[in-house]
Structure 1
Amino acid sequence: MFLRPLFRIVPDGTKIAFMRGRFLGLLVSALLSSLSVVLFFYPGLNLGIDFRGGIVIEAKTPGPADFAKIRTALAGQRITGAGVQRFGGPDDILIRLENPKSETATQASADRVRAALAQAFPGTKVMRVDAVGSSVSAELFRNGMLALAISLVMILAYIWFRFEWEFAVGAVVTLLLDITKTIGFLAITRLPFDLVMVAAILTILGYSTNDKVVVYDRVRENLRKYKTMPLRALIDLSINETLNRTLGTSMTVFLASLPLALFGGSTLSAFAWTMLFGIIVGTSSSIFIAAPILLFLGEHRLRKDAHAPRPAKPTAARLKGGT
C-alpha cells in the first residue's frame, strides 16, 4: 500500500487552461528581457573584483562604522579613489581600491588601509583581503562568458538528442530569456557580478533545464497516449499533471536558499538572492514561455496525424460492385 503525501500544493486533477495566457506570457517576457538588455548597457553590471581587478578589503569595526571618519583616515594615508560601503551589519565595511600596477603596490595599499582603519577605529579586524590583476580579471571574464556559451550549446544538444528539434529550440530560447532577466536583476540590484554570479547563473540554467525537461517529457508521453488530442489541450494537460512536482521542487529549492540570502554574509547572500530570482523566473518560464513556444513550433508538426484527413470508409455500393 503506497503512502499518500500529507498535502499537495495544488489539488489533483486541475484543469487550468495555461495556454489561454500564452500571448500575454510571451509579451511580458519579451518586454522584461528587452529592458534587461538595455540595463546591461546602461547602467551596466556592477563588476566584481574577479572581472574588474583591484583590491577588496572586508573589515569589522568595534562599533557602528563612521564612513566620513574612514574616508578621512584613508586620505591621510594617500589612498584616493577608494570605495567604502556598508554590507551586512552596521559594523561591517567593504573597501574597494583601484587595480594596483604590481604585487608590491598591492601589498603596500593593503598595509596603508590597515593603518588607516587602525587609526580611525582602534581594534578593527580585517576579515579578508582579495586582489586581482587586470590581465587575470580579463581572462576570468572571458572564461566565464565562454562557460555560459558552452553550457547553452550542450543543453541544446542534449534536448535535441532526447526530443524533437521543436523542444530543443523552445528550451534554449526560454533559457536565453531567463538569462537576460537575471542580468537585468543584477543590474537593478547592483549585486557584484563575479565568478560567484557566473556559478549562480549556471545553477539557474541547470535547474531551469531540469524543470523544462519534466514538462516536455510529459508532453512527449501524452503525444503517444492521446493520438488525436489537439496540441494546445495536450500541453495544458501535461502542465497540470506535472504542476505539483514543479511547484514542490521550486518551493524546496526556494526555502533552502532563503536562509542563505538572509543570513549568509556578503558572498553567499548575493548568490542566494540571485538563485531565488532564478527559481521564480525558471519555474514561470517553463509554463508561460517554453510551453507556448512549443505550441507555436509544433502545432502542425507534432500533430500531423490529428490534422491529416482520414481515409474515407468504403460505402456499401463500392463493396458490392467492387471497383
Structure 2
Amino acid sequence: MFSINRELSFIKNRKIFYIISITLIIIGLSVGFIRGFNFGIDFTGGTMFQIDMGQEVPVADINKVLKANNITADVVHAGEQNQEVIIKTVQAMDTAAREKLLNNIYAEFDITEKAVLSVEQFGPSVGDMLKENAVKAVAIASIGMLIYIIVRFEWKFGVAAICSVVHDVLMLIAFYGLFHIPINNPFIAAVLTVVGYSINDTIVVFDRIRENLGLMKKNQTEELIDRSINQTLVRSIMTSLTTIVAIIPLFVLGGETIRQFTLPLIVGITAGTASSILIASPIYYQLVQATGGPKYKAKKSKSKV
C-alpha cells in the first residue's frame, strides 16, 4: 500500500474539476444527440436469428454476409463449443428480407433451413418501455439513497451525493455517445451497479468528514474537508483500482455480451471514484458555505476506513 505524504487541496481547485467534468459531459452528450446514440435491438426493435452453424464460425465471416445485405447487427456466439450464433439486427426485417438473408447464410456456410433455431421480431414499443423503466429505476434508487443519507447524515450530504450520482450517469452516457458504442440491456444493469458502487465510495468520504466535524473549529470547513478526502484517498483509489483490475480480464476474454456489461462498469467505476473525491465533497462544501456552516456534529465513529 502506498501513502501520500503531502495533503492535496481539492476544495481550492474545485472549479477546475467542475469545468473538466461539465466539458466532458457536454461534448459527449452533444456528439451523441447530433449523431444519434447507438441504441441496440433492445431499444430500437429489430429481428433476432439464432442459427446452429454446426461449427464455430468467426463473427467476421457472419458480418461479411450481413454487410453484403446492408444489415447492421450484433453477432454473438452461443451453445456448446460456440457452434450457434445469435444475430440481432437493429432493423425490423420483413419476410422477404429475412428469407433473403437466410438464403445467403445457407449458401455461404453450407447449411439448411433446419439449422435455424428461432427467428423473433421486436417492436420499438419494447425499447420505449425499457428506456422508461431504466429512468424509473435510476430515479427510485436515487430517491432511496437520498432518504437514507438524510437520515444517516444530513440533507447537505444527501444533495451532494445525488449530484455525484447524476454526474456518473451523465458521464457514462456521454462516453457512449462520444464513441458511438451500442447501448443494450447490459448497459442498464451496469448503470444501476455503478450507481450503487459510486454512492458507497462517496459515503466513505462523507463518513470521514462527519467524524472530523467534532474536531472542527470555526471557519475551518475547507481544511477539514480536504483533510478528510486525503485520509480516504488511498482507500478509494485502491478499492476502485482493484475492482477494475478484476473486471479487465472479463472484458478482454469474455464474449460480446460480457463486454457490453463490463465496459460501462470500468468507465462508471472510474467516473464514480473521481466524482466521490472531486465532485461530491466540493458540492457539500459549497452547500455548507451557502447555509452558514455545518450544523451537524456526530459522535466519533469507531469504524475504520
TM-score interval w.r.t. the shorter chain? 0.7 to 0.9
Give the Cα separation in 1 of the matches to 2:295 and 2:284.
15
Task: Provide the secondary structure at the position in 1 that maps to 2:292.
Answer: coil
- Is 1:22 the equivalent of 2:22? no
User: Does the 8 A contact of 1:144 with 1:195 survive in 2?
Assistant: no
Give the Cα separation in 2 of the matches to 1:216 and 1:189.
33
- Is 1:49 the equivalent of 2:41? yes
Give the Cα separation in 2 of the matches to 1:69 and 1:135.
28
Report the Cα offset of residue 13 of structure 1.
5.4
User: Does the 8 A contact of 1:110 with 1:129 survive in 2?
Assistant: no
Instruction: State the number of aligned residues.
Output: 284
Cα 1:63–1:38 shift into 2, 3 Å = closer
Note the 1:1-323 alignment, pairs <5 A.
Answer: 8=1, 10-11=2-3, 14-57=6-49, 61=57, 65=61, 70-72=66-68, 74=69, 82-84=71-73, 94=87, 96=89, 98-99=91-92, 113-122=101-110, 131-228=121-218, 230-299=220-289, 301-303=292-294
Task: Provide the secondary structure at the position in 2 that maps to 1:56.
Answer: strand
Cα 1:43–1:86 shift into 2, 3 Å = same
User: Does the 8 A contact of 1:56 with 1:97 survive in 2?
Assistant: no
Give the Cα separation in 2 of the matches to 1:48 and 1:32.
24
Give the Cα separation in 2 of the matches to 1:44 and 1:63.
25
* Superposed CA RMSD: 3.2
Give the Cα separation in 2 of the matches to 1:202 and 1:277.
13
Amino acid at match of 1:261: F
Cα 1:69–1:254 shift into 2, 3 Å = closer
Give the Cα separation in 2 of the matches to 1:241 and 1:235.
10
Cα 1:128–1:219 shift into 2, 3 Å = farther
Task: Provide the secondary structure at the position in 1 that maps to 2:13.
Answer: helix
Report the Cα offset of residue 147 of structure 1.
1.2
Give the Cα separation in 2 of the matches to 1:66 and 1:303.
61
Report the Cα offset of residue 245 of structure 1.
1.6
TM-score (norm: length of structure 1)? 0.76
Cα 1:33–1:253 shift into 2, 3 Å = same
- Name the counterpart of 1:321: none
Give the Cα separation in 1 of the matches to 2:270 and 2:172.
11
Cα 1:71–1:13 shift into 2, 3 Å = closer
- Name the counterpart of 2:299: none
TM-score (norm: length of structure 2)? 0.80
Structure with higher Rg: it is 1
Report the Cα offset of residue 133 of structure 1.
2.6
Unpaired runs of 5+ in structure 2?
78-84, 297-305
